[in-house]
Amino acid sequence: MNKMSAFILAGGESKRFGRDKSLYIYKNKPLIEHVFDVLKTIFIDISIISNDYDRYSYLRLPSFPDNINGKGPLIGIHSALCHSKTSNAFIVACDMPNIDSKFIKYLISISMGFDVIIPYINNNYEPLHAIYSRDCIVHIKKQIEDGERKISSFFDKVTVKKINKEVIDQYADCTHVFKNINFLKDLE
């Protein structure tokens, strides 16, 4: 089991989905449980970032609210890092039911010496399936204070290791593993 902390971000409003997608039943269990089932094979310390603890209390995981008022996943990442018991944390969205343990273990294996270890496909980051260092906290807080919500907005201030498609394909199927659920049709 890995000594790195892991956090599931479950604070979204699910506006595009039309209802709470984190608890939507997909393949016989809620979406968040698909994520949790993979993480528990890798991590000892797993928590949820959500402003509604009761919704996820049945998972018996620690849950922490956003520690800065506002909306968006950048605030969720900041909250996760502030609560992390380890210097690095794997942070993933609750709506990615196809995450892959082999690929996550690979990310962990190369995490030393970087502040962000992140998949990078077709000139796009996958920021809600990445490892972040607690050294990012101060930079993220500054971006939030400046009104910036884009996750990659602080990347120029930290050391970033991009993991390209060719490397990812050695461990997981890019078209499958990073698919997040925004609409009901995404489950088809």
pTM: 0.92
Question: Tens digit of pLDDT per residue, the chain (188 long)?
Answer: 568 999 999 975 545 444 467 888 888 999 999 999 999 999 999 999 998 888 899 999 999 998 887 778 999 999 999 999 999 999 999 999 999 999 999 999 999 999 999 999 999 999 999 999 999 999 999 999 999 999 999 999 999 999 999 999 999 998 889 987 654 555 55
* CATH level 2 (architecture), domain 5-187: Alpha-Beta Complex (3.90)
Residue-level pLDDT at 71: 73
Domain boundaries, the chain: 5-187
Residue-level pLDDT at 20: 65
Tell me the DSSP string of the chain.
-BSSEEEEE-----TTTTS-STT-EETTEEHHHHHHHHHTTTBS-EEEE-S-HHHHGGG---EE--SSSS-SHHHHHHHHHHH-SSSEEEEEETT-TT--HHHHHHHHHT-TT-SEEEEEETTEE-TTEEEEEGGGHHHHHHHHHTT---GGGGGGGS-EEEE-HHHHTTTS-HHHHT----SGGGG-
Residue-level pLDDT at 180: 73
